[in-house]
Amino acid sequence: MRFRWVLFLILIIILSPVIFKPGSVDAQENVQGERFKIVEKTFIQFTWRLVSRDGRGICTVKIDHEGFPTNNETLAACVIDLEKLGPAVTPFPEGTPQPTSTPINLNQVFLETYWVFESSQEVTTTTKVKIPDMIVNIYAPGLPVSAPYIVIKAIEPYSEFHISRIAGTINNDPFECLSDQCIVPLIQDARIKFWAESSFGDQSQTITATARSYISNNFYNVRITTIDRKIEFTDSCRQIWSGTAYGESPDWVVFPESP
């Protein structure tokens, strides 16, 4: 039994990219926070002026495509100026219902106006795009195994980047894997701290978990008994019914500290 356990443990270490380092593996400082990238877009901007039949300028519309401005673009840029073209509404005496203004009839407006092309120019805009946070989790094998281990996986949701490293400590002994998956052998029950790093240049939050194992029928059963994501648990249903429902939260909503 001992020989088979040692052989399986050696096999895991060979196949897994996990590296146990004699020094220390530290989480980087000041790398968490909002993830975003700046996206630049360059396009040709066309400027049109809406003019009445008597040559009076009504408003100016800027668009990013060839052709005349659409009805929606015209309304967005000229709604206040177009309202002035309608008949004036005389208010009624105070205390009586007030009349409503006549809705804008764009078709009628376009019969009495025409477009004048003013200019075109190249415009560059910058947009701040939010990048989703990395997803990191720890798993125990779902079935009994010959030698105990846990698996840490990380996902970089943004397709332009990838997970460059998973690192942490197991009972204060540092380890790292230069990939998005890490198989970590267990010698005993362990307190594990781990995080993931991305080619984007940042790292995830540090997660702390406890893994325990026990022998049954000559095989090891591994369980993750606690996991701390630095997120305080709240009973959302109890919050909604606060002041209406009474009593304590049931036991099943609390993650146990140990089996």
Given a contact cutoff of 8 angstroms between Cβ atoms, the answer to whether 73 and 82 are in contact is no
Q: How confident is the model at residue 122 (pLDDT cuts 50, 70, 90)?
A: very high
Q: What mean pLDDT is predicted for residues 204-226?
A: 93
The per-residue b/e assignment along 90-118, b for 16 or more CB within 10 angstroms, e otherwise, is eeeeeeeeeeeeeebeeeebeeebeeeee
Asked if 49 contacts 199 with a C-beta cutoff of 8 angstroms, the reply is no
Which of the four pLDDT bands, split at 50, 70 and 90, describes residue 256? very low
Whether the CB-CB separation of 187 and 175 falls below 8 Å is answered with: no
List % helix, strand, coil for the chain (3-state, nearest 5).
15, 40, 40
Q: Which of 121, 128, 109, 112 has its CA nearest to residue 63?
A: 121
Q: Residues 102, 105, 109, 112: what is their CA dihedral angle, to the nearest 10 degrees? A: -80
What is the layout of strands, in order, in the sheet containing 181-185? Answer: 135-139, 149-155, 181-185
- pLDDT for 142 equals 86
pLDDT given for residue 243 in this prediction: 59
Kindly report which listed range (5-14, 143-152, 174-183, 194-203) carries the lowest average pLDDT score. Answer: 5-14
The whole-number pLDDT of residue 234 equals 55
Structure tokens at 112: 């009495």
Per residue in 127-146, pLDDT (tens digit) is 888 888 899 999 999 899 99
CB 172, CB 20: distance < 8 Å: no
Residue 103 · residue 37 · CB < 8 Å: no
Mean pLDDT of 114-120: 94
Mean pLDDT of 88-116: 71
Scanning the structure block, which residue is given the tokens 């606060």? Answer: 242
Would you state the pLDDT for residue 107?
75
Under 8 Å CB-to-CB from 168, ≥6 apart: which residues? 25, 152, 174, 175, 176, 192, 193, 194, 195, 206
* Beta bridge partner(s), residue 94: none
Q: What is the pLDDT of residues 147-179, one digit of tens each?
A: 999 999 999 988 889 999 999 999 999 999 999
Per-residue model confidence (pLDDT) at position 5: 47
Nearest to 204 by CA among 149, 161, 254, 173: 161
Contacts of 47 (CB under 8 A, 6+ apart): 60, 61, 62, 117, 118, 119, 120, 121
The predicted model gives 58-86 an average pLDDT of 87
Give percent of the chain above pLDDT 90.
Answer: 47
Please compute Rg for the chain using Cα positions: 33
Least confident among 22-26, 61-65, 212-216, 255-259: 255-259
Q: Report whether pLDDT(2) > 80.
A: no
pLDDT value of residue 86: 60
Q: What is the layout of strands, in order, in the sheet containing 173-177?
A: 18-20, 173-177, 163-170, 190-198, 207-216, 219-228
What are the chain's domains?
Answer: 2-8+15-34+132-233 (2.60.40), 36-83+112-130 (no CATH)
Res 82: pLDDT: 80
pLDDT of residue 139: 93
Task: Quote the pLDDT of residue 159.
Answer: 87
